Chains A and B, each alone.
Chain A
Amino acid sequence: MSGKPKIQIENLTKVFYKKDSRVVALDRVSLSVSDGEFICLVGPSGCGKTTLLRILAGLETPSAGSYTISRGKQERPLQSMVFQEQGVIPWLTVRENVAFGLKMRKLPKKVVNERTAYYLEKTGLSPYASLYPKELSGGMKQRVSIARAFANDPEILLMDEPFAALDEQNKFILQEELLAIWSETKKTVLFITHSIDEALLLADRILLMSAQPGQFVKEIKVSLPRPRTMEQVRADPEMAKQFVDIRKHLQEEVQRSRK
């Protein structure tokens, strides 16, 4: 790994300007992420997490500041996003959804089919490949989203609370699957969550954000060795202490934003 950061964000600011409201969603945010790092963003809702991801995803333009995502291989797309929900296109089958990014990039049919099949298999979706999303459960749909992002093989992955709408059981399973695929591909991931457990399980580094305007206020390195399981996270005294720390911070921020 070179010393050059994979993602470099400098003084990024985003203001939403409407007739009678101006919201400072992000206020001079800076961040440097190295290659292969798994970063979790945690913060009270409305603090600008989604906005930051949408800027990196090219769906929103920053009002000030800059960011760079450094390119490794030339043919790779810079980023792919896993949306919070409803990101699976209803008129495409599971297979077509997973292949979507590859097809948009006009890759050779053989490559598209191979990679699609590989990630369908990895996410346990192979038996459902020809179904339309309406026939899938919420957990299955989120698998499609994840498979689509990984199949696209981007430089970095952006994930916006991908498991927030799932029940506990499904969440545990998908978290483990995500970790398995991630450890195999060693992608750089920016992952938003409001679940402290989830952040401790997944992240190398957790960034805590303040309520509006969004800023990074604290950084926590998660030292628990990999591969990790939720049981380890729950049992480790160091993790328990960090859990309480993060929780306290979040509560303070929520209180502050209410005032």
Chain B
Amino acid sequence: MMKVNSEEKHSDPFKVERLEWERQQRKERYKKVLTICSPVFLLLLWEFLSRTGLIDARFFPPPSDIVGTLVAMGMSGELFQHIGVSLYRIFAGFLFGVIPGIVVGLLMGLYSPIRHFISPIVMALMPIPTLALLPLIIIVFGIGDASKIVTIAGSVFFPVVINTAAGVMNIDGIYLDVAKNYGASPKDHFFKIALPGALPVMMEGVQMGQAIALLTIVAAEMMGAASGIGYLIWTSYKAFMIQEMFVGLIMISFFGYLFSVLLRILQSKLIPWR
């Protein structure tokens, strides 16, 4: 056994390694195919079950029909109007949640008196789902864009503030020592050490905030709105327009995916040193 092995290696080491390399490449390709296969498989199965009547086509219309409805709604412009409204609310709410979240989180991480003062407030408010406050928010801000933006901002704020503060506090003490030893001013300390040092953990919070923003917008628009993707889903359901409802769901899934990809690209641009 030993002998055979060594003779094989003896024949041509480059060939052996090349074959190994090709094997690895095949394996990688195979994994990629698997990743693409799973959603395609699911859609085909759904189409089949729905067409053959094995599942109720009234509740689970075949995907090909849903695509048809999507195209029709796109042509009429109705879909884009709802999407536009929701995207505006998501972006505005996201920014109003993320920016204060980062600022407050940095201050909490850097200055322990601020941390000790603010953290009980954060801890007490965090467990309350912003959606549970929606009735109150609607009374104050009406059923237009403002109430949605406030709701999203409120939901996004907490993961960002907590992760940012944790990010600052997790910065290795040695970098703080270096900054101090080399005479960094408070401003330099903030921008050269705290902010970049906290960035990786902070971006995790922003990713979480993005996911929460999508969950929140749908629910908020379902509960009290006159437009948006959540409104589309809810009114379609109530009118038993199941295909239109599925179009709304697909839109949420699509934007959820798109946003997380965009954020990941942003993350690798912002944190090239990782």
Contacts and interface: CB of A to CB of B under 8 A. Distances in A.
Contact of A105 (B175, B178, B183, B271): B183
Interface residues of A, number: 24
B122 to A, nearest CB: 27
Interface stretch (A75-83, A114-122, A165-173, A188-196): A75-83
A132 B178 CA distance: 17
A89 B182 contact: no
Contact of A100 (B182, B185, B197): B182
Interface in A92-141: 92, 100-101, 103-105, 132-134
B188 interface: yes
Nearest to A54: B177
Nearest to B172: A86
Contacts of B172: 86
B181 A132 contact: no
Given A86-B174, A91-B196, A134 B181 contact: no
A-side interface mostly: loop
Interface string A44-80: 0000000000000111000000000000000001011
Contact of B273 (A57, A133, A152): A133
A227 interface: no
A103 B197 CA distance: 18
A83 B174 contact: yes
A104 B273 contact: no
A87 B173 CA distance: 10
Contacts of A103: 188
Q: Name the residue in B182, B184, B192 with the highest tally of chain A Cβ atoms < 10 Å from its Cβ.
A: B182
B175 A89 contact: yes
Interface in B173-215: 174-175, 177-185, 188, 192-193, 196-197, 199
A157 to B, nearest CB: 11
B23 interface: no
B174 A59 contact: no
18 contacts: A57-B177, A59-B177, A59-B180, A79-B181, A81-B181, A83-B174, A83-B177, A83-B178, A86-B172, A86-B174, A87-B174, A87-B177, A91-B196, A100-B178, A104-B182, A104-B185, A132-B272, A133-B273
A-B pairs with the 10 shortest C-beta distances? A132-B273, A91-B196, A101-B182, A91-B273, A104-B182, A81-B181, A104-B184, A104-B183, A86-B174, A57-B181
